[in-house]
Amino acid sequence: MQPTHDNCPCMDDCPLNRALGLIGGKWKMQILCSLYNNGPTRYNQLKKTLDGVSNTVLANALRELEEDRLVTRREYLEVPVRVEYAITEPCKRLIPILDQLGDWSMTL
């Protein structure tokens, strides 16, 4: 008989697993930290701060973060069109949690 894992913190319906899915990925944390530290940022400037990220990876990560309501995309109807990315209020509430997680990692 297989053991059940109803209380396992890494099951699909686990809130922790969902949270890690939202911010997981190679560049998402760096994107969020950059936007938090620098405020609303244009795409090319964000790419410069994230040394080594490809256009495809950055665009996909920004799209996912926007879909998950952690980042907003604001388009200004100018010539040429200007687009800025910024973190949302839910993301601002996430930052202290990430700081605590970083502090915890330093204790290991």
pLDDT tens per residue, range 6-28? 666 566 677 887 888 899 988 99
Q: Note if the pTM is more than 0.95.
A: no
Looking at the predicted structure, is the pLDDT value of residue 97 above 70?
A: yes
pLDDT of residue 20: 86
- CATH number for the domain formed by residue range(s) 15-105: 1.10.10.10
From first CA to last CA, the distance across the chain in angstroms is 37
* Cα gap 3→43, rounded to integer Å: 48
pLDDT tens per residue, range 35-63? 999 999 999 999 999 999 999 999 999 99
pLDDT of residue 5: 54
